[in-house]
Amino acid sequence: MQRDSFKQHISGQFNAELEAVKNHLLEMGGRVESQVALAVEALLARDSGQAADVIAGDEEVNIMQVKIDEECSHILARRQPAASDLRLVIAVAKVTTDLERIGDEATKIARQAITLSEQAQSRSGSAEVRQIGRHVGLMLRSALDSFARQDEITAVDVVVDDDTVDSEYASAMRSLVTFMMEDPHNIGPVLNEMWALRALERVGDHASNVAEQVIYLARGLDVRHMEPTELRAHIQGNRNPEDRDTE
Amino acid sequence: MQRDSFKQHISGQFNAELEAVKNHLLEMGGRVESQVALAVEALLARDSGQAADVIAGDEEVNIMQVKIDEECSHILARRQPAASDLRLVIAVAKVTTDLERIGDEATKIARQAITLSEQAQSRSGSAEVRQIGRHVGLMLRSALDSFARQDEITAVDVVVDDDTVDSEYASAMRSLVTFMMEDPHNIGPVLNEMWALRALERVGDHASNVAEQVIYLARGLDVRHMEPTELRAHIQGNRNPEDRDTE
């Protein structure tokens, strides 16, 4: 009897550790979400002070990543998780990498904001930055929500949505090239906006990676290199057929 | 006695699995190294055929990643590795992500090669692409060598070298902006070269990430967010002081 209660105690602690690492990941997600939003705002407002805050804030994101990765290593070493618990730890360790890189992209946007704040105002692609910034912000939010709720339907939407961001990005680039052609004085500032857009497009890619981990988590299926349409058909058509270790 | 020989047998199999996953990772590394080299060659020669081969070849890189990640999951689930074995598996799982993204960057360079092959020749930044391409190629080679030999001194060199690539990249960008300013007809093709350079700079970042995992592997120390100079002083000044689980 004592042994059973000991086991339950251990298993309760283990569950608490899994819950904690998941919550820390979501906190990190919330943090990078806000970093991206603040960086885009700083860019649009040419606000170098706010941009500097974003750059300084990246340190905290990095610290969060290192801590969460350590938690994952400890759980793997001491708890030897199996089945869906193991998948959760692996998914968390993969997602920290994406979130940290989203933090880096926010920093890159903030750097462009500072450069732009120092330049004379010229014709610019602010509309494009605003639109794509809002779009990838929503994608990131949905990706994190889908992780929190292990909601694979929302996760699939995020992966599919990344294609839309890619075409918005391509079309924004074409407009910006036109601004450059019109007047060589635009070249410098427009390039800064192009780098910022590139960073936003990368945020979309990372959000999509996060969503792919949600699908891995939910059904033990690695969908990272599946085409979005194939993926949607696969997820909607099958109720968990490839899950190798359901509890 | 029988039990001991059984244990030895298991441990022999386990070592073989670890050796196998490490070799598969190095094979994947060799593959992406060649993808990057071929993409740069295709860009310089404006060779759309070779560029198309690179794009088609990315599929194999993706398959390699999925397989290696599966091997890692199996080892974690069935072998419950500890100490340096656990670090190896975690490092391999992190490195596959970087190698796969290097493959993606090679694809991006190849896409720019195709676009450039369709344009009339204009003044271009081929010298910059050649130089930075060679430099990040060497970095990637060194990062993979340092992984194969668990050589943390070489790994530190790679991390430090990434700063040099970053300044070469910044200076190349300034030259390319000048080409654009000189003649608006250059804007299109120069932008394509800028995207290719950006991709090469990212390859350097990923090579540096691989090297950071070698340091983690060698001494259980997470150096991802350390400044290069701090890192070098740390590694050269200490013989493994933070290694928490040496065998």
Q: Structure tokens of A141?
A: 């939010």
For A138-150, what is the mean pLDDT? 97
**Smallest CA–CA separation between B73 and chain A, in Å?**
8
Structural domains of chain A sorted by starting position, each given as residue range(s) with its CATH number in brackets: 2-237 (1.20.58.220)
Question: Who has greater pLDDT, A161 or B2?
Answer: A161
pLDDT of A168 over the 90 cut: yes
Instruction: Give chain B positions within 8 Å (CB) of A76.
Output: 76, 86, 90
To 10 degrees, the CA torsion angle through B201, A192, B225, B101? -40
Instruction: Give chain B positions within 8 Å (CB) of A77.
Output: 82-83, 86
Comparing A15-24, A41-50, B128-137, B214-223, the range with the smallest average pLDDT is B214-223
Residue among A69, A93, A177 whose CB faces B191 most closely: A177
Comparing A29-43, A59-73, B92-106, B215-229, the range with the smallest average pLDDT is B215-229
**Smallest CA–CA separation between B62 and chain A, in Å?**
7
- pLDDT for A208 equals 96
For B100-124, what is the mean pLDDT? 89
Residue A129 CA to residue A196 CA, distance in Å, equals 8
CB distance A76–B63 less than 8 Å? no
Instruction: Give chain B positions within 8 Å (CB) of A62.
Output: 224-225
Instruction: Give chain B positions within 8 Å (CB) of A66.
Output: 222, 224-225
- pLDDT for A220 equals 81
pLDDT of B246 over the 50 cut: no
Q: Is the ipTM of this complex over 0.90?
A: no
Mutate one of B89, B186, B191, B197 to test the A interface: name it (highest A CB count within 10 A): B191
> Around Cβ B148, how many Cβ atoms within 10 Å?
14
pLDDT of B240 over the 60 cut: no
- pLDDT for B7 equals 67
Give, for A183, the enclosing helix (H) or strand (E): none
Digit-coded pLDDT (tens) for B39-83: 999 999 999 999 999 999 999 999 999 999 999 999 999 988 988
